[in-house]
Amino acid sequence: MKVIDIIQKSGNTVFSFELLPPLKGQKADKLYRTIDELIEYKPQYINITTHRDEVEFRELPNGLMQKRIVRKRPGTVAIAAAIQNAYNIPVVPHIVCGGFSREETENVLIDLNFLGINNILALRGDGLKFETTFTPDERGGHSHAKELVDQVVNLKQGKYLDPDIKNNAPLDFCIGVAGYPEKHFESPNLDIDLVHLKEKVDAGADYVVTQMFFDNQKYYNFVERCRSFGITVPIIPGIKPLAMMNQITVLPKLFSIDIPEEFAKEVRKCKTNDEAKIVGTEWAIQQSRDLIANKVPCLHIYTYGITDNTRQIAKAVF
């Protein structure tokens, strides 16, 4: 089932969460255990992230440094299919522009369609660690998520990259895109970011999922601004339960978001990560209760592979 249909058919806030594919060299057991622990709360769909190349430097015996490009978490398509088949829950693999040519993206979308996966989250991805700005794949990759949405919409109409293709069967996808209540870090201001968000929606995105936020008012203001820009699709809030003391400084840096002082003050009082996790979970429960009371379409939790806190939130609110 498509995410947009799940949301539109449900009269209540639905539950979904995000998982990371296993690191190269690891089995999928941990991922299955994560799902097993959350299944009783009836997740309506599960997102699977995609991770592009990373750059590593290794010291050679001669003392020189060697640059290596590695992909630490391959396998999004395979793990997405395995989860959908094992649990009969729709999966939403993330598709990123960075590190992929248009042909590779088309092939991934064809594979997903063969596997019965009809949901994707279309993202640009970030630049490589040493890049100051995002660089599209040199083999003709997309520069922005909107171009990726265009490609998916073309495939929905049976338009493949090769114009001479015969029997051009349309592919069927529900498309989600990312939105940023506190603006994307590269955007000069929220209005310009919303112009680009509207372009993604006008191109054919069915819904928006937000970056994490710790102050619900930021989400409510964002939804209001989106509506005033003519963005009418559902806007799904993404919630990250804070799990470690250092995340009050790491998360703002990584995701260009604010941590409200009232919350940061409580986390600063913690002496251990276990204490910080309790405070972070309680904050996420309060956020979730308020969002559900305000009838958000879905509560989407960024698990980062940690289940006990996501489980406590789901138990408290669903």
Residues 6 or more apart in contact with residue 77 via CB below 8 angstroms: 93, 108, 111, 112, 115, 117
Nearer Cβ to ligand FAD (61/188): 188
Number of residues that bind ligand FAD (CB under 6 A): 22
The interface region with ligand FAD, picked from 64-72, 183-191, 239-247, 289-297 by CB under 6 A, is 183-191
Q: For residue 123, what are the contacts with CB-CB under 8 A and spacing of at least 6?
A: 50, 94, 95, 96, 97, 145, 148, 177, 178
Contact 45/16 with Cβ under 8 angstroms? yes
By CB under 6 A, residue 152 contacts ligand FAD: no
Q: Where are the alpha helices (DSSP H) in 206-272?
A: 216-228, 247-255, 261-268
Number of Cα atoms under 13 Å in the Cβ half of residue 241: 33
* Span near ligand FAD by CB under 6 A; candidates 22-30, 31-39, 184-192, 290-298: 184-192
> Which DSSP helix (H) or strand (E) runs through 130?
none
Rounded to the nearest 5 degrees, what angle is found at the Cα of 134, between the Cα atoms of 190 and 176?
Answer: 60
Do 153 and 160 contact (CB within 8 A), yes or no? Answer: no
Phi, psi of 44 (to 5 degrees): -90, -20
Dihedral (CA of 27, 30, 31, 32) sign: positive
When binding is defined by CB under 6 A, the residue of 52, 102, 218, 311 that contacts ligand FAD is: 52
18 is catalytic: yes
Which of these segments, 100-108, 161-169, 181-189, 217-225, binds ligand FAD (CB under 6 A)? 181-189
Closest to ligand FAD by CB, 178 or 276: 178
The minimum distance between CB 220 and ligand FAD, in angstroms, equals 17
- Using alpha carbons, select from 175, 182, 178 the residue that is nearest to residue 197: 178
Q: Which residues, 196 to 235, sit near ligand FAD by CB under 6 A?
A: 196, 200, 209, 211
Of these, 19, 123, 226, 242, which contacts ligand FAD (CB under 6 A)?
123
In angstroms, give the least distance from the CB of 272 to ligand FAD. Answer: 29
Residues 21/74, Cβ–Cβ less than 8 Å: yes
Which one of residues 144, 156, 198, 289 is an interface residue with ligand FAD (CB under 6 A)? 144
Q: 126 or 290: whose CB is closer to ligand FAD?
A: 126
Please check whether residue 38 is in contact with residue 310, taking contact to mean a CB–CB distance below 8 angstroms: yes
Is residue 105 a contact point for ligand FAD (CB under 6 A)? no
Note whether 297 binds ligand FAD by CB under 6 A: no
Q: How many CB atoms lie within 10 A of CB 236?
A: 21
Per CB under 6 A, 99 contacts ligand FAD? no
Minimum CB distance to ligand FAD smaller for 234 or for 275: 234
Catalytic residue IDs: 18
- Residues forming contacts to ligand FAD in the complex (CB under 6 A) are 49-50, 52, 94, 96, 123-126, 144-146, 178, 184, 186-187, 193, 196, 200, 209, 211, 238
